[in-house]
Chain A
């Protein structure tokens, strides 16, 4: 865990207080209606659209001086974007930051849910590019809103049907559509479907921010999240034949890394914190 001093040139966490209140109101509404997309007045942030502005605004609205923030991008704490967002909050909020999932109070993520199970009291903030799960089928915003209002979701299954008819199985492997609290169909954000089961009945709060599309949605703790599927093609997570080459885990999401031009490859945990934690524990054990 590292702590820094806040840059006094900025308001706490960059956004002005009125903006934070506006975002918090949107968040409250989102939490009250699980899976429902709440429009909000997304602000100009010091990074372009597509680089996590939604997630950053949600985090900025909820973070306090006593919070500890972890930021991951595709599971790793040390990628450019994760580093840059972490530094942003360190500077504008002066909060403690960490790579350790268990130490964090807020985890902002792009494209993964941490392998280490999160607990009650923690908040997971997702960065979302396209919040509307029906957008692929229906380009009109007025129409998709109506479809959500009327639970007009037949077309979601049309997409899965198309997958099966073309590929023999549901080919969607990330941003898998889910039914939240038995009511709203929601875009789970581009996390691999491997992570979807973690969303179901989770003890932690899940917040989703889409900056460019100006939408916030949420899944309060202990909410049912069901992946859409067919009776004869039930939802399945990905499996690997290999274990992580670094820590030996067989239960985590593995990235495939090409090691040479001869087609050599190895599989390593996408979640760097999880992986290094297992290695450290192993070393402790062998030392003991």
Chain B
């Protein structure tokens, strides 16, 4: 496939006089993981929500290369199509797994829901897919019928990932995927994500304030500050040879135990 998977053009969003995103443009290519880093208030989360169809920007276009229908402007898709896209081709991993899971239904149902939503009607096969995915995200398959409330935070996050990936999406958006988790749990989760991204050839946009997460997961970085992209480039280059004053500040502020 030629051409970028996602072409974001001039996306702007303001909340009153506060500019969250000031005309941001970038492209994402198949198999690429883009990290968006910045501190609170940088606009990175707003940008993520705008390009993933969850928030309507004030201006700009988000052009997505579909599997069979050429490119579409996501922001101008009908709601039914947008929902379909978000349920099949895309995934969204929330920082708080409770926002991305149905807490009142079993782990297996959580994973199988996307399949059922697009017409899967064979219980046995749906259950097998769920078992397969629980295994891939290192959740004990014996817990397939348990409710997510009985899972630890790390397990809930892994369940959320499985729920998103079961439909074989091409593009996954991750909002601080390791935020709020214990360090050892974070390490395990990042490993899992790295492996899945590589094995499944996923493209992803990861928003994080943690540079270590960015270094581990992202191929390229965009550094945001006050709604603007101040630096962009290869991850190791941006972190090892930062050019912009703000990037240099960020990098030098990281604590090394």
Contact = CB atoms under 8 A, between A and B. Distances in A.
Do A and B interact directly, with beta carbons closer than 8 Å? yes
B109 A158 contact: yes
Interface of A: 137, 146, 150-155, 157-158, 161-162, 164-166, 229-233
Contacts of B191: none
Contact of A162 (B106, B122, B124): B106
A165 B127 contact: yes
Contacts of B242: none
A154 B127 contact: no
Contacts of A151: 80
Contacts, number: 56
Interface of B: 79-80, 83, 102, 104-106, 108-109, 112-114, 116-118, 121-124, 126-127, 144-145
Contacts of B109: 158, 161-162, 165
What are the 7 closest A-B residue pairs judged by CB atoms, nearest first? A154-B117, A157-B116, A230-B123, A154-B116, A231-B122, A150-B80, A158-B109
A166 B145 contact: yes
A166 B145 CA distance: 8
Given A165-B108, A165-B144, 16 more contacts: A150-B80, A151-B80, A152-B83, A153-B117, A154-B117, A154-B118, A158-B113, A158-B116, A161-B116, A161-B126, A161-B127, A162-B105, A165-B127, A231-B123, A232-B124, A233-B123
B105 A154 contact: no
9 contacts: A150-B79, A151-B80, A154-B114, A154-B116, A161-B108, A161-B112, A161-B123, A162-B105, A229-B121
Contacts of A231: 121-123
A158 B108 CA distance: 9
Contacts of B124: 232
A158 B123 contact: no
Contacts of A162: 105-106, 109
Nearest to A228: B121
A152 B81 CA distance: 11
A146 B80 CA distance: 10
Contacts of A152: 83, 117
A155 B104 CA distance: 12
Contacts of A233: 123
B139 to A, nearest CB: 16
Contact of A157 (B80, B83, B121): B121
Contact of B123 (A137, A153, A164): A164
Contacts of B106: 162, 165
